Structure 1
Amino acid sequence: MNRIEFMKQLERLLWDIPEQECRDAIDFYNAYFDDAGPENEAQVISELGSPGKVAAIIKADLKGSAQTETYGEYTETGYQDHRFSGGTQVPDRTNVIREREESGRRRNRGYQGRQTRSGGNLALVIVILVFTSPVWLGLAGGILGIVFGLVFGILGVVLGIGAGSLGLLAGGGAVIVSGILKIASNPAVGLASSGAGFLMVAIGIMLLVAFLWVVAKLLPMSLRAVVGLCQRIFHRGRGGDKR
């Protein structure tokens, strides 16, 4: 007979006692088995005897009559019923509770020890970070400098193209107007000036188209590339890049 069979049979035999008393008794013996451990299950069953004996002792204890006092008594090791030759003993609940409290204190001491070790590890990490801060702060500053340099460099080129295109358009327009005004007095100079103005306008238009293309296509791609580079750098530093 194992523990499960023992407890099921004991519960069936206690059907005629109050439900709360039955539940208390079942909980008590389950706790007794838990405290003894699975390796001592057979020994506990041997000490308790059959479920019928245990049920009889529980019922006699609940009756609290003179008959109970005749049949059994509490000893230093538990309840002793003289009707059974096996000397079945009911474990003392006080001892069981005391053992549970001691087990809880042992678990708490182990948990506190783990907390102490965790606190020591955290302090060690902080000390290492403080002493190595010049290295990793310099490295982080260098990386940020490269990133900002790339970003502002790209923005500078884009803005330069835009400003150049606007300047050529404005300057070319002014030269064209000036050339047209000079055609009457000096046709050669007027035509040359007008041609130069048209050339400047053409170059300005080309630069404006390039500027719009950079803003619409190349600039987002460049920014995404810079962001991706930063992510790879920082993820590799944290062990996130597994490639």
Structure 2
Amino acid sequence: MNRNDFILRLEQALAGMPEEERRRAVEYYENYFDEAGPENEAEVLHTLGAPEKVAADILKEFRDVSSPAGSAGNTGKTGKKGAESYAERAKNRFQEMDNGQKALVLVLAAVAVICVVPACVGIVGGVGGILIGLICAVATVFLIVPVLDLAAWGCAIGFVVAAGYTAAAGTGAETLLFIGLALVSAALGILLWKLTVYLFRTLFPALLNGIVGLFRRVFHRS
């Protein structure tokens, strides 16, 4: 038996089906053979088995979905959907319920919405709050270090002025104290300046590139 023999016997075995349904079932298997290719024809024939058995499976499921609770148009063994979609079937089932069952379904749906929506809002709000907190913390670090650096240099300048004033007044001990404080403030200012340069020249670009890369991966996957 070859492909043509299989299709011919299948058409004959499906003679009890409406013309449109029989044509769709036969077309499905013709496409099945086309996709497999001539080199795999023997393997496909072995896998499918006798066309009469395939037709029996199709007719059985066709009768099942042609019942009042189902819909015509399913071509059986292939798992192919008929004309009626899942949403239409669900709608038909809902319409077949009595008023009490419909009311129960509507109440359960309303309860599910009432329970799920606030939970989703809470989760989104919590995640958003965490992200905002992290952003504020990072921004605080990038702002406070330059401010402290400016304050350190300001203190150094102030201590130098104070040292000059005390030197003019002839108080040597206070002059030495202010000079020492000025040196400490200057050293702290240099340290904070290096930290500021590191933050804005190295850490900030790396952080920015990481955020951009994260958004690219998210949007690429979506």
Q: Which structure has more strand as a fraction of its residues?
A: 1
- TM interval, short-chain normalised: 0.3 to 0.5
User: Rg: which structure is higher?
Assistant: 1
TM normalised by structure 2 equals 0.48
TM normalised by structure 1 equals 0.44
